[in-house]
Amino acid sequence: MRLPEGFTAGATASGIKPSGKPDLGLVHVEPEATWAYVATTNRAAAPCVLRGRRLYADGAGLRALVVNAGNANCATGEPGALDDRRLAELAAAHLGLEPQAVLTASTGVIGVPLPVDKIEAHMGRIELTDEADAFAAAILTTDTRVKLSARELPGGARVVGVAKGSGMIHPNMATMLAYLFTDAEVDPVALRARWPAVVDATFNQVTVDGDTSTNDMAVLFTSGQAGPVADGAFWEAVSAVARDLARQIARDGEGAEKLITVRVRGAASEAEARTAARAVAASALWKAAVHGNDPNWGRILVALGYSGARFEPERLEIRLQETVIYDGGAVAFNGVALSQAMQAEEVVVDVDFREGEGAAEAWGCDLTEGYVRINAEYTT
């Protein structure tokens, strides 16, 4: 997939991944990119997150992004912070930049020193092109698929997104990385102000197993090379790309065989709609029911009930694959037909609280024996 104007990217295999697959990705941008940044709230945040926060607080533009996969460089103490700085320096040297113009990210095993020597030996081999694909493949850990998405704006500006998911097949890999690149020219203050709301409505509504990583980040970069764009169209395109990536991440959750989409409307507030949608998407009982094609609305009701969202069971409506299965109480439906309708790649739950105007979506995946096997049958 072609990157927007001003962006080039590349990748190489540096030997961090035992598989020998590409594990070092680089993105270059010119001129300096305006950026907007949201990172994990986990208290054990990795050095790359701490460094990214400092760069973001400084307010300077960025010229590059470097990501290594296979090692999260987390819980690595003071040496880990130095290794993270070294990662930035190596990318900067390769591109002829200052290190503070380079954002770093790491994903993979926790608690193991980052093999900076390997990165140093291979950084020089990275060749940049205007395609995102090699970069998108290099940042994967246990994902089974590359995650890319793009939208074009009237006038030709583009938004291209790349992500890796929360498929945590190997231990300690639990990171969501999402990067959106655009050549639209956007006011930097607005960019910073509006990006968190997009992240909240998309990436933060993905749940695979409820574990929030130490290294998560979602970043939006603009080169501005395509000139100004209409505000509405721009944020619509950004949201669409973010949502598409969020869905790809959920669908590729560890051991997952199905995407679960939960749409809530009629909530007392948007925040309550989000919480309620996430509670259903995250419910182990509902995830297992989806795996077994069981139209078990009781589990949806229970999850809504403990989500914290305000509602009256007597006013609530629940639909599953477009069939009403609860309307102020139990309603008759054809369970066999609905179970068959659940044998699909995507299972959609629609909830209407009939309380207010709040609406939101959340995405998850079914809970399979594969998830347990993947996460249990490993010995460190």
Pick the closest to residue 37 from 196, 181, 188, 148 (CA basis). 196
Answer for which of 75, 190, 233, 359 binds its own copies (CB under 8 A) is 75
Interface stretch with its own copies, choices 129-137, 183-191, 229-237, 307-315 (CB under 8 A): 307-315
With respect to its own copies, which residue has the nearer C-beta, 53 or 192? 53
Question: In angstroms, rounded to a whole number, what is the distance separating the alpha carbons of residues 305 and 312?
Answer: 9
- Token pair of 43 as six digits: 């208290």
CB 159 → its own copies: shortest distance, Å? Answer: 29
CB 331 → its own copies: shortest distance, Å? Answer: 10
Q: Is 356 in the site for its own copies (CB under 8 A)?
A: no
Residue whose structure tokens are 């709301």 = 197
With respect to its own copies, which residue has the nearer C-beta, 244 or 366? 366
Q: Is 314 in the site for its own copies (CB under 8 A)?
A: yes
Q: Is 60 in the site for its own copies (CB under 8 A)?
A: no
Tell me, what amino acid is at 360?
Answer: A
175 flagged as catalytic: yes
Q: Is 142 in the site for its own copies (CB under 8 A)?
A: no
Three-class DSSP labels, the chain: CECCCCEEEEEECCCCCCCCCCCEEEEEEEEEEEEEEEECCCCCCCHHHHHHHHHHHHCCCEEEEEEEEEECCCCCHHHHHHHHHHHHHHHHHHHCCCHHHEEEEEEEECCCCCCHHHHHHHHCCCCCECECHHHHHHCCCCCCCCEEEEEECCCCCEEEEEEECCCCCCCCCCCCEEEEEECCECCHHHHHHHHHHHHHHCHHHECCCCCCCCCCEEEEEECCCCCECCHHHHHHHHHHHHHHHHHHHHHCCCCCCCEEEEEEEEECCHHHHHHHHHHHHHCHHHHHHHHCCCCCHHHHHHHHHHCCCCCCCCCCEEEECCEEEEECCECCCCHHHHHHHCCCCEEEEEEECCCCCEEEEEEEECCCHHHHHHHHCCCC
With respect to its own copies, which residue has the nearer C-beta, 149 or 172? 172
CB 178 → its own copies: shortest distance, Å? Answer: 18
With respect to its own copies, which residue has the nearer C-beta, 189 or 336? 336
Question: In angstroms, rounded to a whole number, what is the distance separating the alpha carbons of residues 36 and 369?
Answer: 39
With respect to its own copies, which residue has the nearer C-beta, 121 or 378? 378
CB 231 → its own copies: shortest distance, Å? Answer: 34
**Interaction with its own copies in 147-176: which residues (CB under 8 A)?**
168, 171-172, 174
Answer for which of 109, 137, 347, 362 binds its own copies (CB under 8 A) is 109
Q: Is 311 in the site for its own copies (CB under 8 A)?
A: yes
Q: Is 315 in the site for its own copies (CB under 8 A)?
A: no
**Interaction with its own copies in 207-246: which residues (CB under 8 A)?**
209-214
Catalytic residue among 175, 202, 214, 368: 175
Interface stretch with its own copies, choices 14-22, 85-93, 144-152, 280-288 (CB under 8 A): 280-288
Q: Is 305 in the site for its own copies (CB under 8 A)?
A: yes
Question: In angstroms, rounded to a whole number, what is the distance separating the alpha carbons of residues 323 and 325?
Answer: 6
CB 355 → its own copies: shortest distance, Å? Answer: 11
Q: Is 294 in the site for its own copies (CB under 8 A)?
A: yes
Q: Is 259 in the site for its own copies (CB under 8 A)?
A: no
Residue 94, Cβ density class (10 Å: 0-12 exposed, 13-18 middle, ≥19 buried): buried
Answer for which of 98, 117, 130, 369 binds its own copies (CB under 8 A) is 369
Tell me how far the alpha carbon of residue 282 is from its chain's centroid: 16
Interface stretch with its own copies, choices 72-80, 88-96, 133-141, 144-152 (CB under 8 A): 72-80
Q: Is 323 in the site for its own copies (CB under 8 A)?
A: no
Interface stretch with its own copies, choices 25-33, 151-159, 292-300, 354-362 (CB under 8 A): 292-300
List contacts with its own copies (CB under 8 A). 41-45, 74-77, 109-112, 168, 171-172, 174, 209-214, 282-285, 288-289, 291-299, 301-306, 309-311, 313-314, 326, 328-330, 335, 339, 367-369, 371-380
What is the set of active-site residues? 175
